[in-house]
Amino acid sequence: MRISSPCTVAAGAVLRGDLTAGPGLVVHPGASLGSSAQHRLGGSGAIRIGREVTVWDCATVHAGSSVGTGITEVGDRVLLMAYCHLGHDVVLADDVVISNGAQLGGHVSVGEGAVVGARAAIHQFVRIGRGAMVAAGAFVVSDVPPWALVSGDRARIVGPNRVGLACPERAGRVRRALRMMRGTEVSGDDILQALGQNHSEVRDIAAFVDANSKRGLCRWGSPS
């Protein structure tokens, strides 16, 4: 175990195993970091945590498994709220927020600045793109494109993440890109040809659509 200072670990928190954390780690009571993968084949994996990460009460972060990369990764300035869970081989990029009680299955990846709402459940191998927002209570079984807002049981895209985009023009471009996924197969080239290559949010979506996916993409539509 290698934890850089400064670091604050409250009473009742448990840190164990092959765990490395950058400076500024704050772990609140009852949290557990470093337990073995909850997988039939287990494995003595590792956890790598970045800088200025906060882990609230009773959150759980499990180490990587023998069937995945072997490493669970948490980026810089990540906020893990109370009672959330990160399964084995999860990868969180910088500035991610995992809200109270959200549950991430093994091998999930979450892009920079994305937010997972309270009590959301994320299926194994799902990708959540940069700047995306998963609504509270959503059940996500397919990949969430960058800058999208998804909601519902078997979550669907309901619009752009306007808060994350913070700009009506950017939100409009994202809305148009996401609507191209409505009921039809679409490629990254299709999106770039329709909306141009001069905007980072459009390039994010195009690259995400073309990347390897094990779960398929969330589609536009009313959540159930």
What ranges do the domains of the chain cover? 2-164
Give the predicted TM-score (pTM) of the model. 0.95
Each residue of 208-217: pLDDT tens digit?
Answer: 999 999 999 9
Residue 224, pLDDT score: 43
pLDDT band at 223 (very low <50, low <70, confident <90, very high): very low
Q: Measured between alpha carbons, how far is 105 from 50 in angstroms, rounded to an integer?
A: 21
Residue 40 has pLDDT above 90, yes or no: no
Residue 177, phi-psi category: left (phi > 0), alpha (psi -120 to 50), beta (remainder): alpha
Each residue of 122-138: pLDDT tens digit?
Answer: 999 999 999 999 999 99
CB–CB of 85/103 below 8 Å?
yes
Residue 222 has pLDDT above 90, yes or no: no
What is the average pLDDT score of the chain? 94
Distance, first Cα to last Cα, the chain: 44
In CATH, which of 2.60.40.10, 1.10.1240.10, 2.160.10.10, 3.40.50.150 is domain 2-164?
2.160.10.10
Each residue of 155-203: pLDDT tens digit?
Answer: 999 999 999 999 999 999 999 999 998 867 889 999 999 998 999 999 9
